[in-house]
Structure 1
Amino acid sequence: MDEAKSSSLSLIGRALADPIRIRILDLIAAGEVMDKETCCSIGMCVCDLQEALDLKQSKVSYHLRELKQADLVHERKQGKWNYYTINTVTLQAFCQDLSHRFHLA
């Protein structure tokens, strides 16, 4: 396996190792709503996550930054709000890479 792929697996693994970030991904996945006009996921904003987790905005933003660096979430800015959705492509590729690497499939 090449070094770039190993680095990517490691980065995602570290991002997924934190229980708060797992909870954030759970909340985003459960809260994603489709906009019927654009057929796109609207996502969740920081304020929704902050309220659900009972954490300060700075702490939620820190964890979202870690998830973004691992390419696990997409961020979309609309006005003064940032909305987050799950990057299913990255998650699926991560699972496939692990499966192939450790001969699980």
Structure 2
Amino acid sequence: MEQIELAKIAAAFSDPIRVRIMDILMQGRDENCVSTPHPELPHAICPYVDVLPKLGNIARSKLSYHLKELRDAELVEERRMGKQVFYLVNQQTIEQFLHMLEQRYLRQGRKA
């Protein structure tokens, strides 16, 4: 099972647009965000209002596709507030991914 999870997350990171989306989500809200902040998740941002302009000239449908790939890999969390949708990085998945990599591929984590 761990191999499947590792491959799924690695595949999600294999596209430069998804990496950029993760970078933007990790930075969170900034002075360019125009969406109403989520009262319980001040770091979360709206993808179509706040992320899309930062990606340059990509279609809304393309952003939707990449967000779905990130959700399927459990790299992002989606939260709704009324009609607004907010996204944030799933820190737990990132930590698990790094732990799996460390256990599998770093010599310090393995016995000689």
TM-score grouping bracket, smaller chain normalisation: 0.7 to 0.9
State the TM-score, normalizing by the size of structure 2. 0.80
Aligned to 1:73: 76
Larger Rg: 2
Aligned to 2:53: 51
Unaligned runs of 5+ in 1: none
Out of 8, 33, 46, the residue aligned to residue 11 of structure 1 is 8
- Deviations along 1:77-96, one digit per CA (max 9) or x if unpaired, are 11112100000110011011
Out of 23, 27, 39, the residue aligned to residue 26 of structure 1 is 23
CA contact (8 A) 1:32 1:85 kept: no
- Percent identity, aligned pairs only, is 35
State the TM-score, normalizing by the size of structure 1. 0.85
Task: Give the ranges of 4+ consecutive aligned residues of structure 1 lying more than 4 Å apart after TM superposition.
Answer: none
More strand by share: 1
- SS of the residue corresponding to residue 22 of structure 2 reads helix
- SS of the residue corresponding to residue 44 of structure 1 reads coil
CA contact (8 A) 1:46 1:57 kept: no
Unaligned runs of 5+ in 2: 31-36
- The number of residues matched between the two structures is 100
User: Are residue 96 (structure 1) and residue 99 (structure 2) matched?
Assistant: yes
